[in-house]
Amino acid sequence: MKREKIILSRVMTPQGELQLQQWVESDEKNHPVYEIIFNGVFLMASYNELSEKQLAYLAIEPLTLERQDIRVLVGGLGIGYTLRATLDYNWIQSVDVVEIEEYIITWAKGLFSELNGYACFDSRVHLIKMDLGDYIHKTDKTYDAIILDVDN
């Protein structure tokens, strides 16, 4: 069987070229297969769910024995799998997600909503469009866990 790639979006941002593509065949969950390419380099895909969820697990699981009001900073939104896994813990009070690319935020809130369990619309989530380094230098907020899901 031959896979066919469809370019859904290709945009120039201040950081470089961002491309969203979809493969015609579907994954084992019968979801479309999406990939995000940044400056010609593979960045993330909808089939990388397990590693994204492990980031949340490794950061939050140790805290659940001590706290019931956990505040989390997630650096990088991507498809939203790490955010979804973070929100799946009952003890999460708030999650600030810092993402530099407006298109990534738009795709996570729209096209990827079903894949990420509508995580961006959870009342505990605050999406911040900003460079993560700039945010860390400017914020006075404190967090119980910081999950870095940035690839570039």
Residue 86 has phi, psi (to 5 degrees) of -65, -45
User: pTM for the full model?
Assistant: 0.90
Say what the pLDDT of residue 94 is: 98
What is the rounded average pLDDT of the residues 72-80? 96
Give yes or no for residue 1 having a pLDDT over 80.
no
What is the rounded average pLDDT of the residues 130-146? 97
Share of the chain above pLDDT 70, in %: 91
What is the rounded average pLDDT of the residues 106-111? 97
